[in-house]
């Protein structure tokens, strides 16, 4: 069985490994490189203050967001509809700004930075441009939790539209309300009212983005931002597992995002959508992956300039 590194991961090594596995150029985004920058509005619900005192979620604001697809090429065909999709959004401004990263699976593919680096290194392309599948199988057998994200996507392929996809935040965030009460929440972003009518080329990133633009032009893109509330004993350190009966947890609607138009790529290129940017009232998750992602996003943004 091949040996995999232990204690070797750094934010820089993870960014470099992500690019190497996907065969991306130095200035490309390390992940979710194909996307569309958009703008919109956020309107809080009456219940938001019961969950958090963060003004990002309790006050109306403009929204800067980015929909994305995690694929090597904009015209690569996702035959089984299992490629990961992303939705990053910024609420509020200045010191009251929060930036939330979500994607189309409720779990991450690695529990720790070291495991993520080993996962990627096992999939590095060889001289023939392809990974050693025996090495991939060996790593997967030794690390079965790294298969949970792919298994979820295979069993729950997303609809043929970015605007009709449900997105999850895999981290558990400590949220403090106006009364000083703190509990863990997970973000879930749910489409409102859209129908998953297929685009002709919805199996490609190009097709997904074209469908998104047509829906935005028709003023047909809106989402409910939900907070899934924890129960006693729910795990908050492992992003490769869901909370027990997570779909049955109480969910509170924090507010509604309405996408009103597209923005230039530069508008989102200047924004790291760094998960470390959270307005007071939403704290940093305690898991290892959150900490390393905060630094990795800054590195990736710096490399793109």
pLDDT digits (tens, 9 = 90+) for 120-158: 999 999 999 899 999 999 999 999 999 999 999 999 988
Angle at 273 between CA 269 and CA 276, to 5 degrees: 145
Residues 6+ apart with CB under 8 A from 105: 84, 149, 152, 153, 168, 170
Q: Which two tokens stand for residue 35?
A: 């996307």
Residue 305 has pLDDT above 60, yes or no: no
Q: Domain for residue 138, yes or no?
A: yes
Confidence of residue 2 (pLDDT cuts 50, 70, 90): very low
Q: To the nearest 10°, report the CA torsion of 268, 269, 270, 272.
A: 80
Percent of residues, the chain, with pLDDT higher than 70: 86
Residue 50: CB atoms within 10 A of its CB come to 17
Distance CA(109)–CA(187), nearest Å, equals 18
Distance CA(223)–CA(221), nearest Å, equals 7
Q: Domain for residue 256, yes or no?
A: yes
pLDDT given at position 304: 55
Q: Domain for residue 2, yes or no?
A: no
CB hemisphere CA count around 43 (13 angstroms): 5
- Cα distances from 18 to residues 169, 273, 288, in angstroms, run 20, 18, 18
Residue 288 has φ and ψ, to the nearest 5°, of -65, -35
Handedness of CA 118, 123, 128, 129 (dihedral sign): negative
How long, in residues, is the chain? Answer: 305
For residue 195, give the CATH number of its domain: 2.40.180.10
| Strands annotated E in 110-203 | 167-168, 173-176, 182-191
Q: Domain for residue 75, yes or no?
A: yes
Collapsing DSSP to helix, strand or coil, 92 comes out as coil
Contact yes or no for 100/283 (Cβ under 8 A): no
pLDDT given at position 149: 96
**Domain count of the fold of the chain:** 1
Q: Domain for residue 271, yes or no?
A: yes
Domain extent at residue 174: 11-304
Q: What is the pLDDT of residues 198-257, one digit of tens each?
A: 555 566 778 888 899 999 999 889 999 999 999 999 999 999 999 999 999 999 999 999
Distance CA(69)–CA(84), nearest Å, equals 6
- Round the CA-based radius of gyration of the chain to a whole number and report it: 19
- Cα distances from 255 to residues 42, 100, 175, 222, 282, in angstroms, run 7, 14, 15, 11, 15
Residue 167, classified by CB atoms within 10 Å of its CB into exposed (0-12), middle (13-18) or buried (19+), is: buried
Chain Cα centroid distance, residue 94: 23
Q: Which two tokens stand for residue 28?
A: 């490309």
Query: Which of residues 260 and 33 earns the better pLDDT score?
Result: 260
Angle at 42 between CA 36 and CA 48, to 5 degrees: 130
pLDDT given at position 208: 87
| CA nearest to 171, candidates 286, 10, 297 | 286
pLDDT given at position 71: 61
Q: Domain for residue 171, yes or no?
A: yes
Q: Domain for residue 254, yes or no?
A: yes
pLDDT given at position 77: 47
Q: Domain for residue 52, yes or no?
A: yes
């Amino acid at each position: 069985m091949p040996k995999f590194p232990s204690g070797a991961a750094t934010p820089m090594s993870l960014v470099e490994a992500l690019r190497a596995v996907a065969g991306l150029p130095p200035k490309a985004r390390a992940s979710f490189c194909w996307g569309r920058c958009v703008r919109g509005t956020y309107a809080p619900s009456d219940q938001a203050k019961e969950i958090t005192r963060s003004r990002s979620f309790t006050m109306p604001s403009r929204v800067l967001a980015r929909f994305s697809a995690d694929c090597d090429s904009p015209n690569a065909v996702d035959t089984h509809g299992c490629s990961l999709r992303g939705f990053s959004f910024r609420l509020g401004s200045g010191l009251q700004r929060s930036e939330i990263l979500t994607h189309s699976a409720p779990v991450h593919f690695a529990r720790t930075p070291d495991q993520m680096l080993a996962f990627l290194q096992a999939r590095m392309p060889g001289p023939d441009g392809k990974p050693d599948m025996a090495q991939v199988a060996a790593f997967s057998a030794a690390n079965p939790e790294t298969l949970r994200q792919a298994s979820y996507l295979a069993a729950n392929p997303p609809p043929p539209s970015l605007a009709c996809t449900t997105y999850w935040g895999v981290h558990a965030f400590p949220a403090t309300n106006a009364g000083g009460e703190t509990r863990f929440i997970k973000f879930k972003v749910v489409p409102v009212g859209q129908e998953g009518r297929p685009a002709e080329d919805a199996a490609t990133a190009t097709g997904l983005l074209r469908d998104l633009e047509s829906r935005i032009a028709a003023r047909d893109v809106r989402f409910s931002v939900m907070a899934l509330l924890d129960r006693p004993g729910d795990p908050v350190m492992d992003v490769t597992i869901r909370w027990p009966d997570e779909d049955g947890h109480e969910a509170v609607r924090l507010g509604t995002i309405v996408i009103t138009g597209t923005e230039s790529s530069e508008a989102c290129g200047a924004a790291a959508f760094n998960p470390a940017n959270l307005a007071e009232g939403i704290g940093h998750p305690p898991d290892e992956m959150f900490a390393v992602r905060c630094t990795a996003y800054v590195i990736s943004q710096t490399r793109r300039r």
